[in-house]
Chains A and B, each alone.
Chain A
Amino acid sequence: MARYDRAITVFSPDGHLFQVEYALEAVRKGNAAVGVRGSDTIVLGVEKKSTAKLQDSRSVRKIVNLDTHIALACAGLKADARVLINKARIECQSHRLTVEDPVTVEYITRYIAGLQQKYTQSGGVRPFGLSTLIVGFDPYTGVPSLYQTDPSGTFSAWKANATGRNSNSMREFLEKNYKETSGQETIKLAIRALLEVVESGGKNIEVAVMTKEHGLRQLEEAEIDDIVAKIEEEKAAAEAAKKGGPPKET
């Protein structure tokens, strides 16, 4: 078998791995993605660039299942994502076969991150150009988790996070507005974060909700529109309250 012996990702004199940093640039150009962890619900939201008229939008699913209890959303090179997702799906089943147990979220995140790292330290390959948001429930304890990985292969757990385009603004919004939520409130928080950087409307965002009982459920456009409408109402009400707040001077 032909073996590549020339590394592409090498250190610069000041300690940078430029290929990895360029990969992060690719991620920054990818669509916005957000993940929020509630006490019994985890929500993933992804910006949907307007689909071409002739394109079958159902074939472009951006939030995918890795197993019945784990889901993934990503930002960056979609083709790289497909390869990574396939390997992760195989690993989920392989784990079920060898230890008769479903994977934990941490395990599969560690596997994906390990894969991303391997491609920064092997001959003849470039790093994967994507960051992932991985969510799921622990198969035994039922505790929800949200993890993020990036092209360098690092991963960490988050209460809420965003990646892709304008992720900084989304993260700022989440930092300001995050509180422990559950059920519908978690969904609203995720959509509000996305709406900061995306044109409002059910056409432009894809949202999926994961619960312990029902696994991953993609929300319909109509549902999303509904929730967006509610969010706008609440925003308007808050503005009105602020304006009407300070007492009128007589």
Chain B
Amino acid sequence: MKLDLSGFESTPPLFGASDGLSHGFPTAPSFDLPITGDFDGFQKEAVQMVKPAKGTTTLAFIFKEGVMVAADSRASMGGYISSQSVKKIIEINPYMLGTMAGGAADCQFWHRNLGIKCRLHELANKRRISVTGASKLLANILYSYRGMGLSVGTMIAGWDETGPGLYYVDSEGGRLKGTRFSVGSGSPYAYGVLDSGYRFDMSVEEAAELARRSIYHATFRDGASVYYVGPNGWKKMSGDDVGELHYHYYPVMPSTVEQEMGEVSGA
């Protein structure tokens, strides 16, 4: 079976491209059109279907000791919860992490692809790629597929020669550098807790607890995994069931009973 290497292309297939020396002029990619009466309407529907899929909560922030990355673990298909244990933090390489929000397949595939590119960069240049470079590579790839229905809202977190780095990259082609990000439908809630509890000089444990609490408040009956990125790479801190966390934060207190109800005997 011939190996399909099309996934290695970082841009959609161009025509009239490289015949040795001459550079082909990039033409619009063409692919088979579906047989439908109203193609425009069909296109709109397709985009709408993918758009609201960013149903998740992920967050990451830079602090004194490095970068803390946390995400919930629910996967949903419309109203149906398909899994409670999805890994939304993707390990690009031992010192870089990516978070997943949006289309799961898109995020997984392009993060794997980014990992390949980072490794190739290392081999060619004999030094690790910077978080800036890695996030830019991903952003450029996503930009070239702009308008074709990819749904990716990701954060690239890592530690490189210049220290901790955090970038937000999405499928619209946007790329932002920052110190605190939360992505997904639960992000407004996460931001609330994160912003009020954030201090630059937290310890690793304090930061992990803040990350855990933010995810918990954003998504109730859900799992949350927390990763820490430091100078020696990333380390998984915990994979909690937020259901348990709820009782950890709000333990059941014995309360006085005003009336005891006895056994109801058959009358």
Contacts and interface: CB of A to CB of B under 8 A. Distances in A.
A118 B18 CA distance: 13
A224 to B, nearest CB: 37
A3 interface: yes
A106 B126 CA distance: 10
A104 interface: yes
A99 B21 contact: no
A100 B132 contact: yes
Give chain B's interface residue range (CB within 8 Å of chain A). Answer: 10 to 19
A68 to B, nearest CB: 18
Contact of B21 (A104, A106, A118): A118
A119 B20 CA distance: 10
A118 B22 CA distance: 12
Interface in A1-18: 1, 3
A122 B20 contact: yes
Contacts of A101: 130, 132-133
A64 B126 CA distance: 27
Interface in A125-171: 125, 140
A78 to B, nearest CB: 21
Nearest to B24: A1
B104 interface: no
A101 B136 CA distance: 10
Interface residues of A, number: 16
B133 A140 contact: no
Interface in A90-137: 98-101, 104, 106-107, 110, 118-119, 122-123, 125
A118 B23 CA distance: 14
A98 B125 contact: no
Interface string B136-166: 1100100000000000000000000100000
A99 B133 contact: yes
B20 A100 contact: no
Interface string B104-135: 00000000000000000000111001101100
Given A118-B20, A140-B161, 10 more contacts: A1-B16, A3-B20, A98-B140, A99-B133, A99-B137, A100-B130, A100-B136, A101-B133, A106-B125, A125-B21
30 contacts: A1-B16, A1-B19, A1-B22, A1-B24, A3-B20, A98-B133, A98-B136, A98-B137, A98-B140, A99-B129, A99-B132, A99-B133, A99-B136, A99-B137, A100-B130, A100-B132, A100-B133, A101-B130, A101-B132, A101-B133, A106-B126, A107-B125, A110-B124, A118-B20, A118-B21, A119-B21, A122-B20, A122-B21, A123-B20, A125-B21
